[in-house]
Amino acid sequence: MSAPTSPADLHCHGLRLLLDKDIAAWVALWAEDGLMEFPFAPEGWPKRLEGRDAVAAYMSRYPDHIDLHDFPELRIHLTAEPETVVAEMRGVGRLVESGSPFDMTYIAVVTARDGLISSYRDYWNPLAVLETGADFTGSSR
């Protein structure tokens, strides 16, 4: 199977890697200068990550804190810009520290360039990080 190159295929492949807890492979889907943004990030959490290395550092401890099981209700919307898709989805699983259920709704705007993620705007609910064990970023909040 060849590597996914369309934004929709790239995003879906990335979700599978997150479920497999293969963060290194997920990060490898990113362009060297890729940009990840969190418009609704609460104080103390990053709002913007510039470059693959910053994305890798941010995500490195994710599986130690959030055990994802599925992304049900995934809907991919094509846009007028062929390199950009909008994804609606839920991420469900459990918080590792507390064992509590994890259920987050996301909207992501994903742009690909040359078969790699060049931009990812992640609109998620900032109230969910108030849950004990949800903070995988080492934030100072």
Q: What is the pLDDT of residue 127?
A: 77
The maximal CA–CA distance of the chain, rounded, in angstroms, is 43
Chain segment 66-123, per-residue pLDDT in tens: 999 999 999 999 999 999 999 999 999 999 998 999 999 999 999 999 999 999 999 9
C-alpha distance across the termini of the chain, in Å: 43
The closest of 61, 85, 63, 70 to 11, measured between CA atoms, is 85
Q: What is the pLDDT of residue 125?
A: 84
Q: What is the pLDDT of residue 109?
A: 98
Q: Which two tokens stand for residue 108?
A: 């992501």
Helix (H, G, I), strand (E, B) or coil at 72: coil
User: Model-level pTM?
Assistant: 0.87
Helix (H, G, I), strand (E, B) or coil at 117: strand
Confidence of residue 34 (pLDDT cuts 50, 70, 90): very high
| DSSP H helical ranges for the chain | 7-19, 23-27, 52-59, 62-65
Q: What is the pLDDT of residue 139?
A: 43
